[in-house]
Structure 1
Amino acid sequence: MEKIKAWAKNLKRQTFVLYLAYKDNRVPWYAKLFIIGVVSYAFSPIDLIPDFIPILGFLDEVIILPLGIMFALKMIPQEVIANCETEANRMMENEKPRNWLVGILIILLWSLLILWMAKEGYHLLNEGSF
């Protein structure tokens, strides 16, 4: 059980590293774009695969999210990662990042996706294609 807790804590720390790296000017734009997706997904209350689905429900936390973090870290210069790791360790000891703008953006994006899906479903039902 201790190994699982350590693994989860490391995953959380790496997510904070990405959050901090996003703000660094030395990180390329394409990496920042990928980082936005990974961090948004990590902090989003909505999962790609809902947790109530047996076994598959935890697939995103065990496979998808760690892979996204791994690929994102490979896009970031090593000196940026070293700086961000130090800051992430401090943040985990003292505080958590609060960025209400990003939180609102995540909620807005999910809302737009849900509205679009509802609209498409409504059109399919009215056309008789469904």
Structure 2
Amino acid sequence: MLDRLKIWAKALKRDVVALWLAARDPRVPLGAKVLAGGVAAYALSPIDLIPDFIPVLGLLDDLLIVPAGIWLALRLIPAPLMADLRARAEAMAKPRSTAGLIAVIAIWIALAAALYLILI
């Protein structure tokens, strides 16, 4: 079972990089490109929207939200194109998403400002 989990995790990492490539590929439909870019930016961001130290909720994004976003984005990209993107993803190193980092920080700042306005 542990081997199956390792294989699944490796495939998930490869698919995130493939989605990062898909967001920049002109052959990908616009809706799939936007979703793929958002999922890849969040998955590759060095910080999480919900920090992992928060019980249950912290791991919820890693266990449910990211895989669900990947699954949906993969359904929107044609299979032959996705096979090409996966092959390209296996040949490259894992990128980092500065856009994802900025988006997560912006969301946290907006939530803090909203909480401040509510409490005052």
Q: Extract unaligned runs of 5+ from structure 2.
A: none
Query: For residues 43-77 of structure 1, what are the alpha-carbon distances to aligned partners after superposition, in whole Å with 9 as ceiling and x for unaligned?
Result: 12333443224444322222221111111011112
Moved more, 40-49 or 12-21: 40-49
Structure 1 counterpart of 2:89, one-letter code: A
Structure 1 counterpart of 2:106, one-letter code: L
State yes or no: 1:124 paired with 2:118: yes
Runs of 4 or more consecutive aligned structure 1 residues displaced over 4 Å after TM superposition: none
Q: Decide which of 106, 109, 121 is 2:100's aligned counterpart.
A: 106
The TM-score with structure 1 as length reference comes to 0.77
CA contact (8 A) 1:24 1:80 kept: no
Match of 1:82 in 2: 83
Partners in 1 of 2:33 and 2:70 — Cα distance? 12
- Check 1:96–1:107 CA distance in 2 against 1; reply closer, same or farther (3 A cut): closer
Query: What is the SS of the residue equivalent to 2:46?
Result: coil
Partners in 1 of 2:62 and 2:111 — Cα distance? 25
Partners in 1 of 2:110 and 2:60 — Cα distance? 26
Match of 1:24 in 2: 25
Quote the RMSD (CA, aligned, Å): 2.0
Match of 1:96 in 2: 94
Partners in 2 of 1:27 and 1:52 — Cα distance? 36
Partners in 1 of 2:60 and 2:107 — Cα distance? 22
Structure 1 counterpart of 2:69, one-letter code: G
Q: Extract unaligned runs of 5+ from structure 1.
A: none
Count of residues in correspondence between the two structures: 119
Partners in 2 of 1:21 and 1:13 — Cα distance? 12
Partners in 2 of 1:50 and 1:41 — Cα distance? 13
Structure 2 counterpart of 1:60, one-letter code: D
The TM-score with structure 2 as length reference comes to 0.82
Query: What is the SS of the residue equivalent to 2:6?
Result: helix
